[in-house]
Amino acid sequence: MNKPFKLISVFAIAALMATTAAACSGNDGKGGNTGSAGETNAGGEEAAKPELKRLNVWASEDYNTYPVAGLLEEATGYKVKYDMLPQDKWAEKLNLIMSSGEPYDMVTSYSDMALYSDYAQKGALVDLTPLIDEFGPNIKAAIKQESIDALKVNGKLYAIPTTVTYEINSSILIRTDWLDKVGLPMPTTTDELTAVLKAFKEKDPGGNGERNVPLTIKGDQSMIDNLVGAFGMPNNWNDVDGKLVPRVMDPSYKDYVAYAADLYKQGLIDREFVANKDATAKEKFASGAAGAIVVHWADIPGISEALTKNLPDATFAYVPALKGPGGEFGFAANAGFDRLTYIPKSAEHPEDAIKWINASLEPDTFRNMAIGTEGTHFKMENGGYVPILPIFNDERNLANNFMAGTDEELYPQYWQARVRKSPVMFEAFDFLNNEQPDEAKKANALGLAPYMQQYAKNNQQLETMVGDYTVKLIAGAESIDGLADFQAKYMAAGAEASSGEINDWYATIQK
C-alpha cells in the first residue's frame, strides 16, 4: 500500500505587505526591455497609462488585493482591474462574455484549443504577431517557437501560452484511516476498489449514518479520473488500432459506463452527485462524510486544512493507477498548454495589454512574481528553489494565476518552489507525477496538435453532449441500449468530420 500522508494544518497568518523591489539576482543572462517606462506626449511629458481590464481563471482570493497585483503595478506602470471566471462551467460563462463584446483587454482561460481556435476563426481575437513584433521583446525571448507555432490559426497567432509543467492532474483521493478501520489495503484494481467502497458503505467507518458517502464526485465529472484509464480511455481521444477515437465511440466505453453505473446503483457513488458543484463534493470529503473523492493535487492543501479541523487524526492518500478487467491502466498525461491569454477584438487597449505582458516577462520581474525574493520568499537547497513559509504562501501562492505566458526555459525550475509550498501538497504531487510508473502516464496526443477547423468548430459541443449523456447513463436516467442511436447523433453533429481531420493529422506523426 502506498504511504498515506498525515494531514498538515496550514496556519493562516496575516499577509505581509508585499515589497515591490526587484529580485536581488540578475537577469539570468536574458536581455529585453522592461516595457514599464511611460509614453511621452508631444510636450515631452509622460502620458498616463490606461487602466487595463483582465478576465482570469477562478481563484480562491481577490486578485485585486493580492500582493502580486501591487508588485506588477509598480513593475509595469499599469493598474489592472481583475475579474474572474466561475469555478464551475467556466467555458459556458466565457462564451457569454466573449459574445457580449465586454471590453476586456486580456482574457486568460484554461487551455481549450478548440475553444480558442473557434474564437480566432470567428474573428473575436486580435492577431498578436504585429503587436509582439513591435512591443514584445521579452515575450519573444520567453516563449519558445514551437509553442508559438502550435497556437497559430491560419498562420496567425492569437494567444500567449502558459505551458504545462507537470503530467498528472488528478486521481481518487481516499481516506486511509477508513481503509484501516475496514481492514482493507489500498485498492490496485477496479474490483478491489468496488470491495473497498462496499466496505465503506456497509461498515460506515466515519460513523456518518445516513450521511455516509463512499465516493463523491462533482456533477460534471462523467469521466472519472483513474477509472477511465482502467478501461483504456484516459484521454478524450485515445489510440485504438492506430487511430484516435473519442471515448463515446471507443469499444471500452460500454464497459466503463457499466462499471460506473453499477457503483451508483449500489450506492457506492454519491447519490447526489448529479447536483454536486465542485465545492459541494469537496465539502463532503472535508467534513468527513465521504471516504473518497476525485481531486487535483493542487486542491490538497485546502482539503487538508478543512478536514484536519474536523478530524485531526484523519489520513488520506491517492489511489495509484487502477488496473481494469482487461489489465489496462493509466492517467491522462498533460501535453501542451495549461492556460492561454488572448486579447479580444473588443479590447480598448490592445497595445497596452501587450506592453503589460511584455513588462511582466522582464526576467527580474517574472522571477519576483513567480517566487519572490531570495532570502525572503525562497532559499536555494541542493540547486533547487525551496519556499520560505509562511510568507511564500501569503504572498506568492496565487502568483501563477497572474502570469500571461512564462519564461519557458526558467519557469520549470522556479516552479519547484511552488509545488513545495505545502508539504502535504508536494507529497501528493510527487506520488502522482514521480512515483507512478512511466507506462501509467498516457500522453494526450492532441495536446500540441495544430489548429484543425472541424475539431475546433465542434469539440466543445461534442464534449458537452458526451458528458451529459454519460452522466445520465451512470445515474440510470438513460439506458445503454440507446448507445447506437446516440453515437449516430454524435457523429452527425460533427464528430465524423472531426475524426477524419484528426486522423489525417495523426497519420502524419505516426510515420
In this prediction, residue 13 carries a pLDDT of: 28
- List the beta strands (DSSP E) in 168-253: 170-175, 237-240, 243-246
- Please give the Cα distance from 131 to 484 (Å, whole number): 49
CB contact at 8 A, 421 and 387: yes
Give 450's pLDDT tier (boundaries 50, 70, 90). Answer: confident
Say how many CA atoms lie within 13 Å of 292 toward its Cβ. Answer: 30
What is the model's pLDDT at position 399?
96
What whole-number percentage of the chain has pLDDT above 90? 79
Tell me if the pTM is above 0.75: no
pLDDT category of residue 364 using cuts at 50, 70 and 90: very high
Per-residue model confidence as pLDDT tens digits over 145-190:
989 988 999 899 999 999 988 899 999 999 999 999 999 999 999 9
The yes-or-no verdict on residue 109 having pLDDT over 50 is: yes
Averaged pLDDT for residues 247-256: 98
Q: Give per-residue pLDDT as tens, 286-345.
A: 999 999 999 999 999 999 999 999 999 999 999 999 999 999 999 999 888 999 999 999
CA-wise closest residue to 105 among 340, 345, 339:
345
Place of cell 497596452: 352
Mean pLDDT within 94-98: 96
pLDDT in tens, 63-84: 999 999 999 999 999 999 999 9
Give the residue, 416 or 79, on which the prediction is more confident: 79
Query: How far, in whole angstroms, is CA 37 from its chain's centroid?
Result: 34
Instruction: Give the closest residue to 291 by CA, choosing from 182, 189, 190, 191.
Output: 182
> What phi and psi values does residue 127 have, to the nearest 5 degrees?
-70, 120
The C-alpha cell that represents 474 in the structure block: 451512470
How many other CB atoms are found less than 10 A from the CB of residue 385?
A: 23
Q: 258 falls in which pLDDT band (50, 70, 90)?
A: very high
Task: Name the band, by pLDDT with cuts 50, 70 and 90, for residue 28.
Answer: very low
Please, where are the H alpha helices in 361-495?
A: 363-371, 391-396, 399-402, 411-419, 423-430, 453-474, 483-490
User: For residue 55, is pLDDT > 50?
Assistant: yes
- pLDDT, average across residues 34-62: 74
DSSP run (H or E) holding 441: strand 441-443
Q: What is the pLDDT of residue 451?
A: 77
Domains, the chain: 47-166+337-407 (3.40.190.10), 170-333+448-510 (3.40.190.10)
Across the range 455-464, mean pLDDT stands at 90
Mean pLDDT value of segment 445-471: 89
Go through the chain and tell me how many residues it has: 511
What integer pLDDT is reported at residue 47 of this predicted model?
76
Question: Is 367 in a helix, a strand, or coil?
Answer: helix
d(CA 106, CA 343): 5
